Amino acid sequence: MYRQKYLFLLPGLLVLVAIILFPLLFTIRVSFSSWDVYNPGLNWIGGDNFTRLLADSRYWQALVRLSLLTLATVTLQYVLGFGLALLVWRDIAARRLFRVLFLVPMMTTPVVMSVIWRTIFHESLGPLNPILDALGIGAQPWLSQAGHALAAVMIVEIWQWTPFMFLMLLAGLLSLPQEPYLAARIDGAGPIRTFLSVTFPMMAAISTGAILIRLIEASKLMETIYVLTSGGPGTSTETTSYYIYIRGMRDFQIGYSAALSLTYLVVMIVSLTVIAKALTRMVVKD
Amino acid sequence: MLEIRSLSLVQDGDTCLDDVSIRFEPGQLTTLLGRTLAGKTSLMRAIAGLVQPDAGSIALDGTDWLGLPPWRRPVAMVTQQFINYPHLSVLDNVAFPLLRRGVARDEARDRARDMLGRVGLADFTDRRPGRLSGGQQQRVAIARALVKKAPVLLLDEPFVNLDYKLREGLREELIDILTAETGTMVVYASTDPREALQMGDRVVLLSEGRVVQAGPPRTVYGAPVSVAAAQVVSDPPINLLELDVAEEGAEVTGLGAVTPADLGRALPPGRYTLGLRAHDLRLGGPHAAHVALTEVSGSETVTHLVLAGQNLVMLERTVTEHALGATIGIGLDLTRARVFDATGTLVPNGADHG
Amino acid sequence: MKHTSYLALKYLVVLAWSAFVVFPFLWMLSTSFKSANGVTGGATWLPWLQYEPSTAGWSALFGGPGGVNILRPYLNSVIVTLSASALSLVLGTLAAYGLSRFTFRAGPVRNGDITFFFISQRIMPPIVLAIPFFLMLKTLGLLDTLTGLILVYIALLLPIAVWVMVDFFNSVPRGLDEMAWMDGCTPVVTFLRVILPNAMPGLVVAGMFCLIFGWNDFFFAFTLTFTKVQLLPVSIVALNSSVTPWWALSAAAIVSVAPLAVLAFVVERFLSRGGLAGAVR
């Protein structure tokens, strides 16, 4: 009776299946071949790529680095985004202006801003070191030392994506009901107790959603790395995506990079599912 | 004639309709009376084709309807929520169903304007429905349903979300309009027995997805066939008393021994339930009862009483103030009680009384 | 007394973060009016006082000396972003409406699983798809073409459109559809005549997200095009590798970032009217 329903679903579904599913199946097949510059084509070498990958310490280091970087930046983004959302939630002059301002970075093209950040971090001509000098902190070797380069990447990521957390959390705050706050005020609860016992519990679900989306997006990190540090100095800022890019698009080891990609995808899906379950359980328990 | 046979519907594990059979005749207004979730809305949605029943048949003049999607069934429906098309003006809202049926634009608009005049919205044709009051929005919905002149018109508690005064007024207007429409089968769902008894040519009582009784309002009210039917059709709620008849005498729980003269009839031994309407209780009598609550509405007083641990409701056709907690003497006219046997079925006693 | 210091702290934090947000933009604006001398003179902010302003960077964008042709890439970016967003919006809105209103079953697969399949595509890291995309477009002869990029961007944007629109349609009462059916509309007519005219708020949010993610993509444009077709972010990053003309780079960055920055105002309006809560949840 409702045969027309397929007219709605199928066009989009078929297009997505065609664009995503076939490439994915193809990647699986390629990962069992030794396709590279010298031998392009689909031969069968069994699981050799995966054995090689297990011993590839550069890959695993990149994966660990990516995990730590992701967890650290997303945590900071969450704390900062929540703090900013609370600050411009109400009782502040020109709050709409601040809201607009705080949103702008997420609208900008990440690579383009990374190029600008690169000039900002420039050790002799950039504006950051003179400011640090004036503050008595002293100039820093931003992009030439491993620790500093990682910090630079984190600063850029926080600048770019804290606005997303801010957006989600402010939208959540603005949709909260008023009654619990009246009740809290009648009970004589101070601002800190009100936050801990009223605001935070009600924001738990939307927080989980926002954190998960950011974890997913942040774990793809590579464009900023490409522009800002090119993985350097050495391999000290390489992320998984960036390393796979080097192997696949630069060294043209198609077969091996397919194996790396699939492993990366599986690791990501598994760890994100675990994190999602854990976060959801925390929310439900409260 | 719309004929429904053995219709059954289970949704999410709940039985919504259980072996429902009803006939609707052209020119007749049938009220479906039942509590919330008794199956009124499910039945209407099944007739309109919005849900597929699990068993049974629906046919209009012999043509099977179950194979037809909603957009091919000649039905019109007004629901509890005021649903109109938010993006169209009031006039275009009412003209919409006509345009979809291939009526020319000018004619559709003329007919829509005419119908809006009849529901008293002639001055609001250019507004968006969202800018109207609740009552006005529901008038738009009614006009949109009527303008199609569909042979089957379903009205699912159309006034329940309006305030009392508006409800009374709109109901009378609707009755006026409907009496002018001949040949339409009107089905009106209600939870309010008074409304149902006033309005319909015929009342169908629904309880837990089943038809418990159908017939002219007077018959249904006067002789409810079962305890369930008596409960659905009585407002204020009917008082139910336990009657125990043995060889040596009869006793009503809480009232003590009763004679056949008290009951106005002789009954064979057994356990019975007496259904006594609130207006068959009167102030001044041998039984001492405590006043739990008094509600005055209009010129009537409804008093909730506790008599020997049993809750009773008394209706007086005067305004009387009873102090809460006071003890008052009441009388019960058991000759007017409906008697139901142990299975809850009416035990008839010649002519019924109102 | 305590209240005043709390208030002062609050404004201090808000202003500090504002400064952090604005900092790169001010730097980029200031740099765009510098010449080679202005840049090598170190970090300076104020024109006339600290450096001699020059329009070299801006004229380089529009065919001046030191020419960086940004017009063609700009146009390409507009074409790709708009086409892919429009197509994703059409396909995504249709699919979302279907998923929100009708029941689909295929073996153990239910509506929720199909919706999840759409949305889960956002988990896929671009690098995983890059090589197969490369080979797929090569086979189809679509490498280094606008058509090829539009196709790839649909895979990127369709999940976003479905995600936002499913949420939106779930908030539209089904009674509206049922009324239209009883007024004689088939599902397709219902969608076109009744649902679509009332779907503007959802479409605006979905369209906005599509524009942001489409316009801001770099990686696919970078790996799937070479010489014939260049998108804006790629041409700006290309400036980065040469002996960097910071002035032209900054001017180009401003032109590239400005159109979407305006969207912040639109988002804020939705936010303050509470219109985003439903779309975000």
- Per-residue model confidence as pLDDT tens digits over B7-49: 999 988 888 999 999 999 888 889 999 888 889 999 999 999 9
Q: What is the reported pLDDT for A52?
A: 93
pLDDT in tens, B95-132: 999 999 899 999 999 999 999 998 888 999 999 998 99
A2 Cα to chain B: minimum distance (Å) = 8
Evaluate whether residue C160 is within a structural domain: yes
Pick the more confident residue, B282 or C241.
Answer: B282
pLDDT in tens, C163-179: 989 989 998 899 999 99
Q: What is the reported pLDDT for C67?
A: 62
Asked if B183 has any chain C CB less than 8 Å from its own CB, the reply is: no
Asked if C184 has any chain B CB less than 8 Å from its own CB, the reply is: yes
Verify that B83 and B184 share a domain, yes or no: yes
Asked if A3 has any chain B CB less than 8 Å from its own CB, the reply is: no
ipTM, two decimals, is 0.89
Domain interval for residue C81 = 72-236
Q: What is the reported pLDDT for C241?
A: 61
Alpha-carbon distance of B329 to C245, in angstroms, equals 104
Q: Is the pLDDT of residue B181 over 80?
A: no
Contact assessment for residue B265 and residue B272, using Cβ atoms and an 8 Å cutoff: no
Alpha-carbon distance of B245 to B259, in angstroms, equals 10
Letter for the amino acid at A272?
Answer: L
pLDDT confidence tier of residue C276, bands split at 50, 70 and 90: low
Average pLDDT over residues B68-73: 92
Evaluate whether residue B201 is within a structural domain: yes
Taking contacts as CB-CB distances below 8 angstroms, the residues of chain A near C239 are 115
Evaluate whether residue B231 is within a structural domain: no
Q: What is the reported pLDDT for B153?
A: 92
Evaluate whether residue B351 is within a structural domain: no
Evaluate whether residue B228 is within a structural domain: no
Kindly determine whether residue A100 and residue C246, on different chains, have CB atoms separated by under 8 Å: no
Residue of C12, C14, C102, C160 best to disrupt the A interface, most CBs of A under 10 A: C14
Q: How many CB pairs under 8 A join A and B?
A: 4
Interface of A with C in 103-162 (CB under 8 A): 103-113, 115-120, 124-130, 159
Kindly determine whether residue B83 and residue C173, on different chains, have CB atoms separated by under 8 Å: yes
Verify that C199 and C222 share a domain, yes or no: yes
Q: Is the pLDDT of residue B352 over 60?
A: no
Average pLDDT over residues C245-271: 87
Average pLDDT over residues C173-189: 93
Average pLDDT over residues C145-160: 93
C175 Cα to chain B: minimum distance (Å) = 7
Q: Is the pLDDT of residue C8 over 80?
A: yes
Asked if A2 has any chain B CB less than 8 Å from its own CB, the reply is: yes
In this structure, which topology does domain A59-285 adopt according to CATH?
MetI-like fold (1.10.3720)
Average pLDDT over residues B183-203: 86
pLDDT confidence tier of residue C275, bands split at 50, 70 and 90: low
Q: What is the reported pLDDT for C280?
A: 40
Q: What is the reported pLDDT for C83?
A: 97
Find the residue in B nearest to A2 (Cα).
Answer: B69
B85 Cα to chain A: minimum distance (Å) = 22
Average pLDDT over residues B181-203: 85
Interior CA angle at A46 toward A42 and A51, to 5°? Answer: 120
Q: What is the mean pLDDT of chain B?
A: 88
Q: Is the pLDDT of residue C199 over 50?
A: yes
Verify that B163 and B123 share a domain, yes or no: yes
Q: Is the pLDDT of residue B182 over 70?
A: yes
Q: What is the reported pLDDT for C157?
A: 94
State the pairing for strand pair B327-332/B338-340. Answer: unpaired
Q: What is the reported pLDDT for B145?
A: 92
Asked if A99 has any chain C CB less than 8 Å from its own CB, the reply is: yes
Q: Is the pLDDT of residue C279 over 60?
A: no
Pick the more confident residue, A156 or B172.
Answer: A156
Q: What is the mean pLDDT of chain C?
A: 86
**How many domains, in total, are found in chain C?**
2
pTM over 0.95: no
C189 Cα to chain B: minimum distance (Å) = 9
Evaluate whether residue C14 is within a structural domain: no
Verify that C184 and C137 share a domain, yes or no: yes
A97 Cα to chain C: minimum distance (Å) = 9
Evaluate whether residue C17 is within a structural domain: no
- Report the CATH number at residue B77: 3.40.50.300
Q: Is the pLDDT of residue B351 over 50?
A: no
Verify that B179 and B205 share a domain, yes or no: yes
Q: Is the pLDDT of residue C57 over 80?
A: no
Q: What b/e string do you get for B241-277 counting C-beta neighbours within 10 Å, with b at 16 or more?
A: bebebeeeebebeebeebeeebbeeeeeeeebbbbbb
Alpha-carbon distance of C125 to A220, in angstroms, equals 5
Domain interval for residue B217 = 2-223
Verify that C178 and C43 share a domain, yes or no: no
Residues of chain A with pLDDT under 70: 1, 284-286
Q: What is the reported pLDDT for C205?
A: 87
Evaluate whether residue C13 is within a structural domain: no
Verify that B160 and B253 share a domain, yes or no: no
Kindly determine whether residue B71 and residue C178, on different chains, have CB atoms separated by under 8 Å: no
Verify that B139 and B170 share a domain, yes or no: yes
Evaluate whether residue B255 is within a structural domain: yes
pLDDT confidence tier of residue C66, bands split at 50, 70 and 90: low
Q: How many CB pairs under 8 A join B and C?
A: 48
Pick the more confident residue, C272 or C266.
Answer: C266
Eight-state DSSP code of residue B51: S
Q: Picking from A86-95, B225-234, C162-171, C242-251, which range would have the lowest pLDDT averaged per residue? A: C242-251
**How many domains, in total, are found in chain B?**
2
Q: What is the reported pLDDT for C270?
A: 81
